[in-house]
Amino acid sequence: MLSKSAAIVLRHGGAAVSNALLEHYRQSLLELRELGFVRYGVQQLTPYTHAAIGAFHPARDTLTGKLLDRL
């Protein structure tokens, strides 16, 4: 069983995390409204798109290629 002080810490800690998440969500929605859906989406997805393209670049060594080179 949790002590009273531990329960208070968990309750207030949970509230702090919830407040931080809700504030981030509010800021994201505000930015989405200001930029527009398409522009916001492009801005958010660009790093992931670049990473995916880079992962499949022909000059990049693959794990399979490295294993075959060892044979």
Q: What would the pLDDT profile of 2-25 be if each residue is shown by its tens digit?
A: 577 766 666 766 777 788 889 999
pLDDT of residue 31: 95
pTM to 2 decimal places: 0.55
| Whether pLDDT at 55 is above 90 | no
Give the CA distances from residue 55 to residues 8, 13, 31, 69, in Å, rounded to whole numbers and listed in that order: 47, 39, 30, 19
- Could you give the percent of the chain with pLDDT greater than 70? 85
Give dist(CA 19, CA 25) in Å, integer: 10
Q: Are 70 and 61 in contact (CB under 8 A)?
A: no
- Could you give the percent of the chain with pLDDT greater than 90? 49
Structural domain boundaries, residue 61: 4-70
Burial 40-70 (b: 16+ CB within 10 A, else e): beeeeeeeeeeeeeeeeeeeeeeeeeeeeee
Of the pLDDT bands very low, low, confident and very high (cuts 50, 70, 90), residue 61 is confident
Count of domains for the chain: 1
